[in-house]
Amino acid sequence: MSEGVPNPTGFGRPDHSFWFTMKKRLQVYYSGMVQGVGFRFTAERVARSLGLAGWVKNVPNGSVEAVCEGEEAALIDFLQKMKSGPMKNYIRDHQVSWLEPTGESADFSVRF
């Protein structure tokens, strides 16, 4: 058996399921009518409800940037909830980048 790899099953094979719960970093730019409509505060509420860390801020070009870290499933939920929630009619487009986590934030906040 591999040294240091968990094996809760006891059947001689290491349990690699922990690899699928690794933390990831998501950077997303939302464009459309996303400033001045409560978008950042909605993103903050959604991110906190999912246990994500990171921040959201307005960008000078009129878009909103969100950077989130957490479990991949929670990050995907964040994207879905933003796309289908109360802000859906304000979003014209979004650009997503998946990055390595940095651990820079302990919680989620709105940046000004």
13 is catalytic: no
Residue 52 has what DSSP assignment?
A: -
Answer whether residue 111 shows pLDDT above 90. Answer: yes
Question: Residue 25 corresponds to which tokens in the numbers above?
Answer: 């970093």
The ranges assigned to domains in the chain are: 23-97
Q: Give the pLDDT score at 22.
A: 82
Q: Give the pLDDT score at 20.
A: 54
| CATH code for the structural domain at 23-97 | 3.30.70.100
Contact yes or no for 56/110 (Cβ under 8 A): yes
Burial track 10-43 (b if 16+ CB lie within 10 A, e otherwise): eeeeeeeeeeeeebbbbebbbbbebbeeebbebb
At 56-104, the pLDDT tens digits run 999 999 999 999 999 999 999 999 999 999 999 999 999 999 999 999 9
25 is catalytic: no
Per annotation, catalytic residue among 7, 48, 58, 89: 58
Q: Give the pLDDT score at 61.
A: 98
Per annotation, catalytic residue among 13, 40, 89, 111: 40
How many CB atoms sit inside 10 A of residue 85's CB? Answer: 13
At 2-58, the pLDDT tens digits run 445 444 445 555 555 555 568 999 999 999 999 999 999 999 999 999 999 999 999
